[in-house]
Chain A
């Protein structure tokens, strides 16, 4: 059987699920999933559903992202430290777009992931918790 990591990820994303890979030897998570553990080198990883919990540590505001994302610009794009360990760069919402400098001074903030349809794409968006 072919090891179809990318297809598994996107098929699950369509259903709102964030699938990652976990190393059974050292416990390191890979998200979005890649094929080999970068901490211990183990090539045999197992699928896990990510909690979708994390913290937004920083964000900028994109005015001209291009492509399908231009339709939703401006939007915030942030660095999220996921609960299971991976660092993920993605769209973030619920942060201050009017005064992003002030908003960044209040970070980090807890956040929860939601999969949203933007154009043809399913995108993982992290929402800051109030």
Chain B
């Protein structure tokens, strides 16, 4: 039996995902201004007033090494009109803004607060020039951040006691093993698995091209055509070496800067607080694992536990969902694993569905219509909030030309943070 709403989402906001050094919509912004932009959109979306209506806020950021900030809650409260309100910083890496839904829901379920703002933001592609060793005249002086350094810091979220001093790297087991095991178990050749991987990223690019807030605006076909290839799959194979075999370099996530925000309120008050159709949270599940994350590459322990907990709380099953966002980090093929572990597809069916175009926004089993962390862009803590933003817009019918063919009444949001915190939230349109 479908459960009762435990909290409701009444406003969402999201910046353009890009680079604060170059992307016009966010160029020159500080992290405070990214948070502020996303929060203003969410507050306006709900038709609220920050001072009068918001009781508390949670704020997420994963990588202080690039933001050069801690205690974002105190540094940002007055940028949001929330001076004096209760707050907390939080982070579970790339599942942060999925986890914020549960945190906010617990706040309203306890009766402590009626209305909670959650935001998360990240600047990954640059850092302030001022450090312990160097000086700058203003915080606006930033310099591009070496991606190797940025990933080194990011992997502070992996097992720093053992994995980082062994030969481990997440790029080996997070994607490649799923691709190999999927082919081995369901009798796909390497060429066929390569095509599935290509289709996932090709679909991501198509979805992102329809989204004005995305990092990558060009479809893969357009890129191939410009490079002189008629067949984009040939372009994929010939210009795209293996990063961690058998996953290709262009399968990888693309880092960026950005922020997302949403407002969660008591479900009994939702209809009074906003004119917008409330999106109810029915349940959520979280699960944490350190290495090893799985024995079977096609069933992450944390995914299985988080999905089970979320479905139990929500009173639904994976097959009931009209839409699912799975975490689409570097792990192209882990999207298959997650969709099947979560029961959105039966085991062994997701690969075929992707090849048939069923996971496109026009398909009957849509997935990751933002363009995912590859093409919409990945701003660590903020990305789940961007995916939630899309779910809410789609559920309300406000997605414009990228509106899904499916009428999305029930949706799942699955994410994971380094390394590994899995979070699944189940949402229902009222």
Contacts and interface: CB of A to CB of B under 8 A. Distances in A.
A124 B166 contact: yes
A52 interface: no
A121 B294 CA distance: 25
Contacts of A61: 242, 244-245
Contacts of A81: 295
A6 interface: yes
B295 A87 contact: yes
A105 interface: yes
A44 to B, nearest CB: 20
Contact of A75 (B167, B241, B292): B167
Chain B at the A interface: SS class: mixed
Interface string A6-24: 1001100000000000000
A89 B243 contact: no
Interface residues of A, number: 34
Nearest to B161: A6
Contacts of A105: 184
B69 to A, nearest CB: 26
Given A79-B292, A87-B295, A66 B169 contact: yes
Contact of B148 (A66, A104, A123): A66
Contacts of B110: none
B180 interface: yes
Contact of B168 (A74, A89, A104, A125): A89
Interface string A94-127: 0000001100110000000000001001011100
B109 interface: no
Nearest to B177: A58
Interface in B233-278: 241-247
Contact of A90 (B167, B242, B297): B167
21 contacts: A34-B290, A60-B246, A61-B244, A63-B244, A64-B171, A64-B243, A65-B167, A65-B169, A74-B245, A77-B172, A79-B295, A81-B295, A88-B292, A89-B173, A89-B292, A91-B166, A91-B167, A100-B245, A100-B246, A101-B190, A121-B166
